[in-house]
Amino acid sequence: LAKSCEKVSSSKMGIKDPSSYSRIDLEKTEHIHLNWNVDFKKKVITGSASYKFKICPQNDKKIVLDISKLNIESVKLQSCDEVVCLTFNESDVRQGIGSKLTIDLPHKVDENKPIVIDICYSTSPEASGLQWLEPQQTSGKVHPYMFSQFQAIHARSVFPCQDTPAIKCTYTANVTCACELKVLMSAICTKSKTGEFTFEQKVPVPSYLFCIAVGDVVFKDLGPITRVWSEKELIDACAHEFLETPQMLKTAEDICGPYVWGRYDLLVLPPSFPYGGMENPCLTFVTPTLLAGDRSLANVVAHEIAHSWTGNLVTNCTFEHFWLNEGFTVFIENKIQGRLYGDNVRDFHSLGGLTSLKEEVKLLGETNQLTALVVNLENLSPDDAFSSIPYMKGSLFLRYLEQLLGGTCKFESFLQKYLNHFKFKSIHTDDFKEYLLDYFKNDPKVDEIDWNTWLNSPGMPPVIPKYNECLLNVCKQLVEFWLSASDSTTNVPDEFKDISTIQLIEFLSLMLEKCPISIQKLKNMNLLYKLDEIRNSEIRFRWLRLCMLSKWDEKINDALAFVNSQGRMKFVRPLYRDMYAWEAVREKAINNFKQKRNYMMYVSAYTVSKDLKIENL
């Protein structure tokens, strides 16, 4: 009976998401229609959401949804030809989680017939899933801008929902806004006229993959189903930077199978966007920090494209199994890089991930349970657990499995069948494990996999895969050169003069492990590589970290300017932690954050406040 009520893998009935009040075994959202008005003056969305629910036989005449700081005005049941007002209450408020909206049904419902419930409500100006920007915070300086970020559990701050990745549904939307602005969503726009837009998403998605952006944006086409959107001041740079997107998408299809989402568009958001990218179906959000000018940071787009299969099509059932989304996605991202630019580049990116993994394990602690692939989020918000562990440790695990179980061709065949088998479903780590064991049941090597250590043990993994290190070795040799060089050295041997952008990034990452570096040596490096002048955000980030960890006073204002210029957590959090660790700069960093936090999106401000030991954000 429960099987008819959910799209969670059938072997995992009764699964509980500790980050949600949703009861996936008692009721299931099948479709949502959103009717929204975006009010920039009040910084709220007002309107309604209409839900089609499948009610399971065991249901207790209630529907339970997640909400966070929503003003619920009315709840109504569409019953035959009449509309019935329903009673409801809000309870169980939890910090970082939100609260429970319980709706009382008037009678025992027929589990063979879906029910339709309409909720009229408005958001709070402090909705954690929305960022409202004043005109001066945009490139154009004329119109305001608003965008969403719902992952992991912030959709509940914008509409009542079963805010768990275990539940997937289709959605439609009608959105009105100021006439000079455009609305974009993670769905296909089916109709638009001045100030009014209609959308449809036919593929079931979890709540965290709903999205909205409203602003004065324009587009340029990159391919038959791909365009890039941004403010007009940036559109030419964006079109140049992401020109290779259609080729990446085609390569991803070769690896993963057919692309089911209809369109693959990009929206380059204002700088306060907290992530490198967000894999919203049909409309990937990306940070403007990717605009390096030479396409050297476009691998982030390869990552978001890969999510079209791993995460969006096959989804972790809870964020305790986040590695099923992100580990697979990094693994495929690196495969795309290998197909396009060679296996050496794939291995180089994988080795860069290994460097990041070592740094993250060191930061969190080798015995910290959050360094395991499968984590326990009981009494812990997914925002508090967010790190690079599921990305890098997860992709490393898959690379180990690929090498163990027959190599690239065999494993890619498995990968396509896995994705096809679990498409449109939300799955548990055990589902992946059981499917792999059955697929490779005739391969004796499968018995060598230490599942418990890989999945449940904290710290570094038990096995490091074999990689071609030819590109990395140049970086390592350059590190050794600078460590052994005198403070008067201002030149490097010829073999180090033509390193690529990605090698320079990795060189700086490796130098971070050797801090502190003498200030004079940093000055010499700056003179040689012109690090202060480089536009590439990954290089600038690492360079400023080197300066902070080496306590170079002259660079403090540069570091503060960098964290103030954008809200990408990958950059902002480590730099703030570095400044906090430097006792002489700590107070200045804290004061700077307090002055700027209202310009940051909630998830960035929340996590940085934790890094700076600030209570009561």
Compute the distance between CA of residue 393 and CA of residue 390 in angstroms, rounded to an integer: 6
Residue 48: C-alpha distances to residues 10, 73, 123, 220, 272 (Å)? 33, 9, 11, 33, 28
Q: With 0-12 CB in 10 A as exposed, 13-18 as middle and 19+ as buried, what is 446? A: middle
- Please give the distance of CA 456 from its chain centroid, rounded to a whole number: 23
Output the six-digit token pair for 607: 């996590």
Q: Look up 304 and say whether it is catalytic.
A: yes
Compute the distance between CA of residue 176 and CA of residue 45 in angstroms, rounded to an integer: 10
> Which residues face 131 on adjacent strands?
147
Q: Please check if 136 is assigned to a binding site.
A: no
- Sheet with 98-104, strands from edge to edge, namely 62-67, 98-104, 88-94
Which of 601, 578, 580 lies closest to 590, judged by CA? 580
Which of 2, 381, 371 lies closest to 154, judged by CA? 381
Q: Please check if 78 is assigned to a binding site.
A: no
Residue 272: C-alpha distances to residues 275, 295, 302, 545, 579 (Å)? 9, 21, 22, 20, 20
Q: Please check if 568 is assigned to a binding site.
A: yes
Neighbours of 93 (CB within 10 A): 12
574 Cβ contact list (under 8 Å, min separation 6): 541, 545
DSSP string computed for 169-221: EEEEEEEE--TT-EEEESSEEEEEETTEEEEEEEEEE-GGG--EEEESEEEEE
Instruction: Look up residue 585 and give its amino acid.
Output: V
Q: Please check if 569 is assigned to a binding site.
A: yes
The residue annotated as part of the active site, out of 391, 418, 576, 602, is 391
Q: With 0-12 CB in 10 A as exposed, 13-18 as middle and 19+ as buried, what is 218? A: middle
Q: Please check if 143 is assigned to a binding site.
A: no
DSSP state of 155: G
Q: Please check if 275 is assigned to a binding site.
A: yes
The residue annotated as part of the active site, out of 304, 320, 333, 402, is 304
Answer for the pair 26, 13: CB distance below 8 angstroms, yes or no: no
Q: Please check if 154 is assigned to a binding site.
A: no
Output the six-digit token pair for 43: 């910084």
Q: Please check if 326 is assigned to a binding site.
A: yes
Q: Please check if 150 is assigned to a binding site.
A: yes
Taking the C-alpha atoms of 340, 344, 346 and 347 in order, what is their torsion angle to the nearest 10 degrees?
180
Q: Please check if 307 is assigned to a binding site.
A: yes
DSSP string computed for 313-379: TEEESSGGGTHHHHHHHHHHHHHHHHHHH-HHHHHHHHHHHHHHHHHHHHHH-TT-GGGSSS---TT
61 by DSSP, 3-state: which?
Answer: coil
- Please give the distance of CA 520 from its chain centroid, rounded to a whole number: 39
Known binding residues for a peptide = 149-151, 274-279, 568-570
Residue ranges at the known binding site for Zn(2+): 303, 307, 326
Q: Which residues are catalytic?
A: 304, 391
- Extract the annotated binding site: 149-151, 274-279, 303, 307, 326, 568-570
